[in-house]
Homo-oligomer: A and B are copies of this chain.
C-alpha cells in the first residue's frame, strides 16, 4: 500500500517527539509507518537525518500557515487572536499528552541542519508573537519579553506534563497564556 507523504510525516512527527532523535530507531519508524526500511530510504535517501528535517520543515510550515495565522488577522481583537493560537497548540500537543518536537529534536547530537531548523522555528514563533503583542500597544522590548516568556512556559509545561504523566500543567499554562501575554 502506498501512503501519502503527509501521512508518513504525521507518523514520523509522533515517533520523533515520543522517542527523541536518537531514540527513534529505523525499526521503530518502519513499524509505526507500516513501511519497510528500504521503502523509507526510497522516500528519504538521506536516512533518519532527512526524515527529521522533513518533520521539522513541516512543523515550521504548520506554524507559519496554521498556528500563527490567527495572530495576523487584524479584524479580530488581539485576545481572540492569541486564543485562536492556543487552540492550535492544544490540538498539536493533544492537550499536553504529546511531547514537544522542538525539545525532542534539539537534544543530543542532532545535525547542524536540524539545529538551524529548530532555531528558525523558535525564532519565527517568537517573532510573530512579539509582533502581535506589540501591535496591541506594548513597547517592542516588552512585547518581545512577553512572547519569549509565553514560549518558555509552553515548552516547560510540556516537560512538566511529560514527567508527571499529567497533562494538567500544560492545560493550565495554555489557559493562562492570553493573560500572560496581554495582562498587566
Contacts and interface: CB of A to CB of B under 8 A. Distances in A.
Interface stretch (A68-76, A87-95, A102-110): A102-110
A62 B46 CA distance: 43
Contacts of A21: 23
The residue among A18, A19, A103, A169 with the most chain B CB atoms within 10 A of its own CB is A103
A122 B153 CA distance: 16
A20 B108 contact: yes
Interface stretch (A78-86, A128-136, A157-165): A157-165
B173 A102 contact: no
Contacts of A165: 119
Interface of A: 18-23, 99-100, 102-104, 106-109, 118-119, 122-123, 145, 148-149, 151-157, 159-160, 162-165, 169, 172-173
